[in-house]
Structure 1
Amino acid sequence: MSNDRCGTSRIAGCQFTLFPMSDKFADIILRALEEVDTSMVWKDTDDVSTCVRGDMVHVFDVTEALFLHTAKTGEHVAMSGTFSIGCPRDTDADSYMDEVVIPLNETKSNAVSQKAGCKFSLYPMGREDYMDAIYEQIDLSKHRNVEVSAVHYATRLDGDVKDVFRALQQSFDRVQEKVSHVTMTFTISANSPSNND
């Protein structure tokens, strides 16, 4: 995955909530956290969500790894969140920026094969031709080893978790190169019982 990943000097962040559909949800989340290296991001968790901030490479790496190590349990798990970069009120506080742009969880993540479905929506802020930027990334996603389909208010990606997050990151990265403030909402689900029908 690192071949297509690049660092950015701007602060990126993701606020997400993880939902293991199991009465053992606490153990599942804690075990996943033990397997994920979060040393390159600033992280804060409260009773609603978790926020990670830092270089875009590490923000995506940690978010993907937490979902992947939760989903590999075989339990139905979902994650919903928002990536953001370039927020006018954002500051360098509560973040870690470093010259290291190698995803620290990549080796462990690459060892896990896990299918998932994801819906995402891109929001290039303050740009009148925002739909052109969105359509461009939807078209590019068709060439990123994921199945792409249109749904109401979002785009759906299906495939291996690593390919899905790679497509999300590449879309987000390419838009933020042209637009100062970008947000991207997403919901990803794995091991859903409805897929067994």
Structure 2
Amino acid sequence: MEPIFCGTSPIVGFRFSMHPMSDNFIRILKTALAETDTSNVWMQTDDVSTVIRGKQHHVFNVAKALVLHAAKTKEHIALSGTFSIGCPGDSAGDNYLEVEDELANTDPASQYVSSQFALYPMNNPDYMAVIYREVERAKAHGVWNDSMHYASGIHGDIHEVFKFYEESFTQARTDEHPHLVMTVSMSINSPSHIGGQHA
């Protein structure tokens, strides 16, 4: 199996762990997986996390759907994950770059999400300018929440939050610097969320 070196493949990956704060966490996770159409992505789960790989819009679509279906239980859901593109690694899932562009998951249900993200434009000496630009983009999208150490706060409806994350993931990389990592942490249905805001 030939390795993929930085920038040679447009495949996007998302490795994440989702934690339902409930005694029924197994049922919640299995139900979310069953209700999400994952046919457009390569997916593998181990005892720590799950990784999905494929075309960018399919990876973000599946990630959002999994979170949304888990959140419908009204239980407190926490998620932590890393999006990556242009990273060295194996070629598992490259065949999913050939699937059609039509999105598999189109549930319009609304859901408030409180989250944090951090961008890492690899090998880009002007990385801080990239980060500042994406912070301004979050403000323009109306999903900006707060500045904090090592991350930026993003909140709002799940569809608007994921729309921003995907756009930022696209805009934060260039042909010259194609290797990008973006970390995301989310909290949904937390007892500290009051009226769609965090306490």
Q: TM-score, normalised by structure 2?
A: 0.88
Question: Cα deviation per residue 1:121-147 (whole Å; 9 max; x = unaligned)?
Answer: 000000111000111111011122313
1:162 positional shift: 1.1
Q: TM-score, normalised by structure 1?
A: 0.89
d(CA) in 2 for partners of 1:189, 1:162: 15
Question: Cα deviation per residue 1:36-83 (whole Å; 9 max; x = unaligned)?
Answer: 010010000011000000111111111111011101110000110000
Structure 2 gaps of 5+ residues are 1-8
Computed over aligned residues only, the root mean square deviation of the Cα atoms, in angstroms, reads 1.4
1:165 to 158, 162, 165: 162
Q: What corresponds to 1:180 in structure 2?
A: 178
Q: What corresponds to 2:5 in structure 1?
A: none
2:124 to 109, 123, 127: 127
**Partner SS state of residue 142, structure 1:** helix
Q: What corresponds to 1:94 in structure 2?
A: 93
**Partner SS state of residue 153, structure 2:** strand
Q: What corresponds to 2:3 in structure 1?
A: none
Aligned residues: 185
Structure 1 gaps of 5+ residues are 1-8
Q: What corresponds to 2:83 in structure 1?
A: 83
2:135 to 138, 150, 153: 138
d(CA) in 2 for partners of 1:162, 1:102: 17
After superposition, residues 37-116 of structure 1 pair within 5 angstroms as 37-87=37-87, 89-95=88-94, 96-98=96-98, 100-105=100-105, 107-108=106-107, 110=108, 112-116=109-113
d(CA) in 2 for partners of 1:61, 1:167: 13
